[in-house]
Amino acid sequence: MISGPITKSVTSLLVGIAIDRGWLGSLEESVFTFFPEHADLRTPEKERISLSHLLTMSTGWAWNEDLPYRDPQNSERLMTDAPDRCRYVLEQPLIRPPGRTYNYNGGATALLAEILCRASGRPIDILARQELFDPLGISDVEWIRYGDGTPVAASGLRMRPRDLLKIGQLVLWKGTWQDGQIVRRSWIEESTAPHINGEGLFFYGYQWWLGRSLVNRQEVKWVSGTGWGGQRL
């Protein structure tokens, strides 16, 4: 099975489905709206962190995943080991204004998964199966889980290559599959458009990488799910 890179992108597709179903509203809504139990962490500056900032990994939080994941100081490792993962992410200090700069952050995707769970009433693995995988005829998937059984949204999804291709084809077909609209076209277009400068020369959309290649002296623009371990969509 292929692992890792598609998990964040699947989370993005599910956000689009949630908006289409009316479970989520504006992407400019403050993240803290969904976590009233952590109201003590609110500050005027952090209040500006929105769903769009989670999607583009531009929250402004101090976060370091450049360290090896076996390093206990890696931010995602610290989140995984924390007694309350969402609180750990939300309590990180701001080192830049939200929306200013991209910084790879698996914690942002973890928050998106929890927000989807609270908005839809279903954990992300069940939501993905019912709203995305079943309509695509994808049945053989696995989720790596945290110690409490919660699916890992940043990198936990495993699926067969032929099913991974279905996800790619769904995006190429602007959210349609067998004459049905699984994800609204406007969300596919918005989420795969450049929103912020990513790493290196790449742009970043809503949990999708955007770039270009030169093939036979012709520029080819591409959208990619790219992640740890060298896997690519």
Question: At 142, which CATH number?
Answer: 3.40.710.10
**Domains: count for the chain:** 1
Residue 15 pLDDT exceeds 90 = yes
CA 31 to chain CA mean position, Å: 14
Instruction: Identify the domain containing residue 41 by its residue range.
Output: 2-162
In a domain? residue 79: yes
Residue corresponding to tokens 């101090």: 62
Percentage of the residues of the chain whose pLDDT score is greater than 70: 96
pLDDT category of residue 201 using cuts at 50, 70 and 90: confident
Residue 19 pLDDT exceeds 90 = yes
In a domain? residue 39: yes
The closest of 40, 44, 41 to 91, measured between CA atoms, is 41
In a domain? residue 10: yes
The pair of structure tokens assigned to 76 is 């995602």
129 burial via Cβ count (<10 Å: 0-12, 13-18, 19+): middle
Return the pLDDT at 53.
98
In a domain? residue 42: yes
Average pLDDT over residues 190-218: 95
pLDDT, the chain, mean: 94
| pTM for the model | 0.94
The closest of 77, 86, 81, 138 to 111, measured between CA atoms, is 86
In a domain? residue 168: no
In a domain? residue 181: no
In a domain? residue 202: no
In a domain? residue 176: no
N-to-C CA span, the chain: 13
